[in-house]
Amino acid sequence: MDKVIMLRYGELFLKGRNRSYFEGVLARNIRRALAPFECKFTRTQNRYYVEEYKFTDEYAIIERLTKVFGLHSLSVAVKVKTDFEAIYAAAIDCAPVAGTFRVSVKRADKKLPMNSMQIAVEAGARILRAKPELSVDLHEPENVVNIDIRENGYTYVFAGSVACAGGMPVGTAGKGMLLLSGGFDSPVAGWRMAKRGMQVLAVHYHSYPHTSLQAKEKVVDLAKKLTPWCGEIKLYVVGFTHIQEEIHRRCNGDFMITVMRRIMVRIAERLAKAEGCGCLITGESLGQVASQTMESITSTEDAVCDLPVFRPLIAMDKTEILEQAEHIDTYDISKQPFEDCCTVFLPRNPVIHPKLDEARSEEAKLEGEDALIQEAIDGAEVLVLGSSAD
């Protein structure tokens, strides 16, 4: 009796001609997730299987696969040659020891001498004999023992399944540049876009030495946490100190954050275009803080020329966002109390409802803005996280 892990993917997006494309990208992502493990990955018509893995790796493999977007659920199954005695033995093995159950049979191999119903009845009887604490409930069983008889001469027997991440395979919906701070929100925003199939790149602005090196390390750790879901993440770490000092020197202090945000998105847009990204992504949520009023968002958006800015958290409550941060395990990193560059030179009375023309004219007070932006981009540190070498 061999154990295998059976993988299922959502069928919804698999319509028409895109089907083999989606399947191919998903298979590539699964292979990457399995790279650290010794195992065999096989595809049949609409199933994937992980076989010949070390039993001691089973938990780690499942843990990894539940983070691959596009997979819907998985089951650990016993694989046997299609032979009735072997099938019944496997069914007994898979059945729980107590509670209620029923047997469900799928029979793709129509050459067998018994039909699905007959097989289910016989398997059920044998299970009851071997595990007398069990009882049958055909309508609302606590457990279902599934017998899946395939055309290839093999049968898969399993009970129960593990939910996977759902969504679309990463790489099927283009690329996006995430503005990644050390806070709770932006990692969740990146994760949500990856769930829709987007490949995520990231940019982080730091104000060393006004902010500590640990603040930067925190963001690297956040990006690493996302890689099991997002795959490889290219992270640009951009020094923002000189720009901030110039804003501080030249602009009305109350507009500090407004102007900073405008320049952040300008830099992000340039990087995005150089990388072939089709959008920017931020962790903004309407009304959450002063810089996220409608007017603030408008004045930030105004500085982006050609790309859409996706804000997947715009209508989420902080509590919902924090729950997601817990779910993706970024919460504990985000809560570390290192300063973000936005807290440097923080004005006493930041404008909460900036007027667009004032935002523009404050930014225009900067001298040599273009050169400042270019200097920041040229000095960026580029890290590739979650690659197989990482």
Contact call for residue 350 and Mg ion (CB under 5 A): no
Q: Which of 167, 231, 283, 350 binds ligand ATP (CB under 6 A)?
A: 283
* 292 touches ligand ATP (CB under 6 A): yes
Scan for tokens 């699964």, then name that residue.
Answer: 30
CA distances, 121 to each of 118, 135, 145, 316 (Å):
5, 13, 12, 50
Q: Quote the CA–CA distance of 188 and 178 in Å, as a whole number.
A: 10
Tell me which stretch binds Mg ion (CB under 5 A): 5-13, 128-136, 255-263, 332-340.
332-340
Phi-psi region of 346 (alpha: psi -120 to 50; beta: other; left: phi over 0): beta
Task: Please report how close the Cβ of residue 347 comes to ligand ATP at its closest, in angstroms.
Answer: 14
User: Which amino acid makes up residue 50?
Assistant: V
Find the shortest distance in angstroms from Cβ 369 to ligand ATP: 18
Min. distance of Cβ 256 from Mg ion in angstroms?
14
What residue has token string 């070498």?
Answer: 389
Q: Which one of Mg ion, ligand ATP, none interacts with residue 283, CB within 5 to 8 A by kind?
A: ligand ATP
Stretch that binds ligand ATP, among 24-32, 81-89, 164-172, 289-297 (CB under 6 A): 289-297
Q: Which one of the spans 7-15, 229-237, 338-346, 348-356 is the region binding ligand ATP (CB under 6 A)?
A: 338-346
Please give the residues from 100 up to 119 whose contact with Mg ion meets the rule CB under 5 A.
Answer: none
Q: How many whole angstroms separate alpha carbon 202 and alpha carbon 194?
A: 12
Q: Residue holding tokens 């499942």?
A: 62
CB under 6 A: which stretch of 21-29, 103-111, 334-342, 364-372 binds ligand ATP? Answer: 334-342
> Binding to ligand ATP (CB under 6 A): which residues in 203-232?
203-205
Estimate to the nearest angstrom the gap between the alpha carbon of 93 and the chain centroid. Answer: 35
Residues 29, 75, 146, 181: which binds ligand ATP (CB under 6 A)?
A: 181
Does the protein bind ligand ATP through residue 251 (CB under 6 A)? no
Can you list the alpha helix ranges (DSSP code H) found in 170-275? Answer: 185-195, 213-230, 241-250, 256-274
Paired strand residues for 106:
148
Q: Does 341 bind ligand ATP (CB under 6 A)?
A: yes
Q: Which residue is nearest to ligand ATP (CB)?
A: 183
Give the interface segment with ligand ATP, choosing from 81-89, 128-136, 153-161, 182-190 (CB under 6 A). Answer: 182-190
Tell me: does residue 288 bind ligand ATP (CB under 6 A). yes
Give the nearer residue to Mg ion in terms of CB position, either 336 or 361.
Answer: 336
Is residue 82 classed exposed, middle or buried when 0-12, 13-18 and 19+ CB atoms within 10 A define those classes? middle
Residue 49 interacting with ligand ATP (CB under 6 A): no
Task: Write the single-letter amino acid at 21.
Answer: Y
Sequence-ordered alpha helix ranges (H) in the chain: 19-34, 58-65, 84-94, 116-130, 185-195, 213-230, 241-250, 256-274, 294-301, 318-327, 331-334, 356-364, 369-378
Angle between the N-to-C axes of helices 185-195 and 213-230, in degrees from 0 to 180, rounded to the nearest 10: 20
Distance of CA 258 to the CA centre of its chain: 30
* Cα–Cα distances in angstroms (integers) from residue 212 to residues 208, 218, 221, 269, 344, in the given order: 6, 10, 15, 26, 11
Choose from ligand ATP, Mg ion, none: what does 148 bind? Cβ within 5-8 Å by kind.
none
Q: Does 80 bind ligand ATP (CB under 6 A)?
A: no
Q: Is 181 in the site for Mg ion (CB under 5 A)?
A: yes
Is 183 among the residues that bind ligand ATP (CB under 6 A)? yes
Q: Binding Mg ion by CB under 5 A: which of 183, 187, 228, 312?
A: 183
Closer residue to Mg ion in complex, CB, 183/197? 183
- The footprint of ligand ATP (CB under 6 A) covers 179-181, 183-186, 203-205, 264, 282-284, 288-289, 291-292, 340-342
